[in-house]
Amino acid sequence: MQVIEFLGQARSGKTTQVLLLKKFLEQKGYNVTLSLDRERAKQVHAPVSDCLAFNLIFHSKVIDEYYHAKNTGTIDFFIVDRGFCDVAIWAEVLWKLKQITKEESMSYKNCWKRFRKLVNLTFHFELPLDVLFDRQKKLTTEAVDEVIMNKKWMKTLEEVYQLQKKDFPSCVEIDGLKSIEETKRIIESEIEPLLKKQLLQKELNKYKKINN
């Protein structure tokens, strides 16, 4: 099972591209499962004000969903919106904003190092903060997000992304200002090696089944 993670700034088009990629892969005959950040957030009962508790639960759900998909033995691609790599980002952001201690931040990141290795490809979406705030103000389908509209939070998040993006597994930079179609083409071209790898694995599994 191949793992693809999308992460980066809000309102940069991540969720749109996640859904488009799922459709693209399914049309090619692959079985795909998603782990969407908004859906996971709805399942967390810890208050957002308790930052460490909220994030521990929020990110742990990714691990559970990953193993649920893997254990079926039928899923080819697991696509996650802000998951394994995202932990180190928020651990650093929460420390910089004095929401958690340095020790808590380091412990949080260290626990997740092994899970980051599960990711085969990362798409990091960037977007200028002024564009982000403007898009959020114009959004009519969702309530105003206080975190997204908090300039201190988002500036800190952007700074941490710039520092850590070099460590994302097989990272592909995505310009959030590009059109949906152009971004879609970039993503589809970047996953070609994974498609070849997955096809090879399927052929190998078929061969093993025949010879067993």
Each residue's pLDDT tens digit, 84-112? 999 999 999 999 999 999 999 999 999 99
Tokens 């592909």: give the residue. 172
> What pLDDT was estimated at residue 76?
93
Decide if 206 is inside a domain: no
- Domain residues for the domain of 106 are 2-195
Decide if 86 is inside a domain: yes
Q: Coil, strand or helix: which one is 151?
A: helix
Each residue's pLDDT tens digit, 190-207? 999 888 887 777 667 666
* Alpha-carbon torsion (203, 204, 206, 211), positive or negative: positive
pLDDT tier at 137, thresholds 50, 70, 90 = confident
pTM > 0.75: yes or no: yes
Decide if 32 is inside a domain: yes
Structural domain count, the chain: 1
- A 10 A CB-CB count for 108 gives 21
Decide if 204 is inside a domain: no
- A 10 A CB-CB count for 37 gives 22
Decide if 203 is inside a domain: no
CATH number for the domain that contains residue 131: 3.40.50.300
Each residue's pLDDT tens digit, 7-61? 999 889 999 999 999 999 999 999 999 999 989 999 999 988 888 899 999 999 9
Is the CB of residue 16 less than 8 Å from the CB of residue 82? no
Decide if 18 is inside a domain: yes
Decide if 207 is inside a domain: no
Q: List phi, psi (to 5°) of 81.
A: -95, 105
Decide if 208 is inside a domain: no
